[in-house]
Amino acid sequence: GAGVSQSPSNKVTEKGKDVELRCDPISGHTALYWYRQSLGQGLEFLIYFQGNSAPDKSGLPSDRFSAERTGGSVSTLTIQRTQQEDSAVYLCASTSGPSYNEQFFGPGTRLTVL
């Protein structure tokens, strides 16, 4: 079956522009996560959606970052007024239950802010 997919695979934008990153989780997975991976750094948790519960936004680095998950499936991560320090690989993962189950990761979106 299909795994987690993300689009675009690469995004180059100019400082100050807004960007939207998309994640399609595995069908039927109730939990969805966004992470950021910067060069030489570990994966940094951003936000977590579990079913119809309020999302855990505790990892979002600033109010320029937001995410939504429509219909319990597709998720969009939006970064407003991008800065050069936002350049990183943004990874999405999904699980079939709580986060103590293994997470299935997408290939990531590489964001470059010029």
Partner 1 sequence: EDQVTQSPEALRLQEGESSSLNCSYTVSGLRGLFWYRQDPGKGPEFLFTLYSAGEEKEKERLKATLTKKESFLHITAPKPEDSATYLCAVLRISEGGSNYKLTFGKGTLLTVNP
Cβ at position 75, least distance to partner 1 in Å: 15
Residues 6+ apart with CB under 8 A from 63: none
Q: 13: Cβ–Cβ under 8 A, 6 or more apart, which residues?
A: 19, 82, 111, 112, 113, 114
Residues 49-108 close enough to bind partner 1 by CB under 8 A: 50, 53, 56, 58, 91, 93, 98-100, 102-108
Choose between 87 and 103: whose C-beta lies nearer to partner 1.
Answer: 103
**Least spacing, CB of residue 16 vs partner 1, in Å:** 28
Q: How far apart are CA 24 and CA 103, in angstroms?
A: 14
Cα 105 to Cα 80: distance, rounded to the nearest angstrom: 24
Cα separation, 11 vs 110, whole angstroms:
6
**Residue closer to partner 1 (CB basis): 45 or 76:** 45
By CB under 8 A, residue 25 contacts partner 1? no
Label the pairing between strands 65-69 and 75-79.
antiparallel
Rounded to a whole number of angstroms, the minimum distance from the CB of residue 102 to partner 1 is 4
**Residue 40 interacting with partner 1 (CB under 8 A):** yes
Binding site residues, partner 1, CB under 8 A: 4, 33, 35, 40-45, 48, 50, 53, 56, 58, 91, 93, 98-100, 102-108
